[in-house]
Amino acid sequence: MCGIVGAVAQRNIVPVLIEGLRRLEYRGYDSCGVAVLADGEPRRARSVARVADLDEQVRESHLEGTTGIAHTRWATHGAPVTDNAHPIFSRDALAIVHNGIIENYETLREMLRGKGYVFVSQTDTEVIAHLIHSLYRGDLFATVQEAVQQLHGAYAIAVLHKDQPHTVIGARQGSPLVVGLGDGENFLASDALALAGSTERFIFLEEGDVCELTLERVRVADRSGSDVQREVRQVAAYGGAVELGPYRHFMQKEIFEQPRAISDTIPQSDGFDASLFGADAAKAFAGIDSLLILACGTSYYSGLTAKYWLESIAKIPTQVEIASEYRYRESVPNPKALVVVISQSGETADTLAALKHAQGLGHRHTLSVCNVATSAMVRLTELSFLTHAGREIGVASTKAFTTQLVGLFVLAATLGKLRGHVSAAQEADYIRQLRHLPAALNSVLALEPQIIAWSEEFSRKEHALFLGRGLHYPIALEGALKLKEISYIHAEAYPAGELKHGPLALVTEAMPVVTVAPNDALLEKLKSNIQEVRARGGELYVFADADTRIVNDEGLHVIRMPEHYGMLSPILHVVPLQLLAYHTACARGTDVDKPRNLAKSVTVE
């Protein structure tokens, strides 16, 4: 959720930093701040309100400087109070901003206290500030390189020191950080979006990189300490209507709203309780022996994903039906099954009709997962779980899908707990993973420039295959659907193991094959499927977890996901597929928000 902006320039850089924070507000935050070197000393302004309040503080205090860093923070270590807001200082000589979590901060804090450092915040970030200060011997770049070797966890940092007034140092591990290249000025940010309007040339730092920004140059060293030349990418500034802010289309805006939408959807309770689904949920859940999920389109794919969760976590048999087919065939009703209907609008005609048909067959227990509290679907069901995606304008669903997945995971965990299959430790771990999701998603969104490069290749294709296995097969289906919906490229998705049973006949160099490759129990099987495609001249585009050991090679293009995320991995892996579809459609010049022949809410059969 946090955002970083930094700059070294020959002009007052504070307006650029503030504007960068404004562009990062979509991430959600509970405090913000800016620090500059002014008159040879670091000075800062911090706020636990909005960026607009910070801007007012800056103007009233006449805070100005040519070297500075800024931050929006979502509280992890320490409450959202001013003392915990970034930038964090060390002995009024050094300032730092930080995204991520330092896992060994307690050990480092005790060590630094032994050296006489006084901690004034509850943040893990203050540990990094004092650590760098304690090691500083006149070369901030070398000092940061030394300091990060002692950090365990994820971080993206920007650091300045009063002894080097025209220098900002950045470093990243597990959290995104990009360098923006200017003319006699250079920039640093957690997201290229923050620098739109200031530069269109970016270096996307890799894991373990440390960079030094000065007025005239950018230096980058890899994790081994060796200087490296990273590719400079041209990324056009975002345009679009005023109401879209920096975005070109509502779909892009809604993709980037997902961290906040998910944060708003995640229950605030410290555990999974039946009451999350309604006052009568506990009684209803006690009387069920299976689930029947009914949905259409993207919502159907969320149901398919949920089937894996429900059967693996809750150990409850689950059937998923396309709503438009369910009521037109003879089925065997089970009054003890919980019928779950899924819809963004709650007005989807096929799903409403299927719900009524199920009720007519004697299904008493029904639950809706929906984004609209006043919808017909919510009114018709006994129980409900409301997602908080906000208004979704783009026809191709993005944030509605991921928030549905959150709701369905909560359902699986709740039923698992009630049925004795989720221990207290597992419950706590699931809660932790859910709460970390927004931050993890921000790291995924930072992959956008790499995906843009892929989209240029995809825009010249007319067909594509998408592959996934197990829990991620429905995500491959969703990725194919997105590409079809808005770029009009014919796309199909298959379980990767089914390749040899027919689809492999389609594979040529003209047919890109998109593969979702998480580090799970099926990874080695998936690698074999990848080799089947390569052996036949296919061009592979793989979204791989960092620890899969799948690397770029001839005919094999890899974008590394920022972290492995276990059972919740589908929520992360679908986002780059959304971005790929979006940027491919842009490259082809289609009407992204209003694709031909489609409507946002299908209210007729």
So which residues are the catalytic ones? 2, 600
**524: phi then psi, degrees, rounded to nearest 5:** -65, -35
Token pair 């200082």: residue: 89
The strand pairing partners of 466, in sequence order, are: 493, 514
Contact by Cβ (8 Å): 33, 47? yes
Please name the helix (run of DSSP H) or strand (run of DSSP E) that holds residue 445, with its range, or none.
helix 424-445
Q: Which whole-number Å values give the CA distances from 489 to 179, 307, 459, 465, 498, in the listed order?
A: 33, 29, 8, 10, 22
Contact by Cβ (8 Å): 439, 259? yes
The DSSP result for 45-58, as a single string, is: EEESS-HHHHHHHH
List of residues 6+ apart from 392 with CB closer than 8 A = 254, 344, 371, 398, 399, 400, 600
Q: Which whole-number Å values give the CA distances from 408 to 209, 322, 370, 414, in the listed order?
A: 38, 17, 11, 10
Which amino acid belongs to residue 129? A
Long-range CB pairs of 595-598 (<8 Å, 24+ gap) are 595/395, 595/396, 595/485, 595/486, 595/488, 596/488, 598/395, 598/485
3 state SS of 110: helix
How far is residue 326's CA from residue 291's CA, in Å, rounded to a whole number? 14
How far is residue 523's CA from residue 80's CA, in Å, rounded to a whole number? 40
How far is residue 211's CA from residue 161's CA, in Å, rounded to a whole number? 15
The strand pairing partners of 37, in sequence order, are: 42
How far is residue 476's CA from residue 285's CA, in Å, rounded to a whole number? 31
- Parallel, antiparallel or unpaired: strands 539-545 and 512-517: parallel
Cα dihedral: 486, 487, 488, 490 (round 10): -110
Question: Could you tell me if residue 475 is left (phi over 0), alpha (psi between -120 and 50 degrees) or otherwise beta?
Answer: alpha
Token pair 């585009």: residue: 541
Q: At what angle do helices 140-148 and 125-135 cross, to 10 degrees?
A: 130
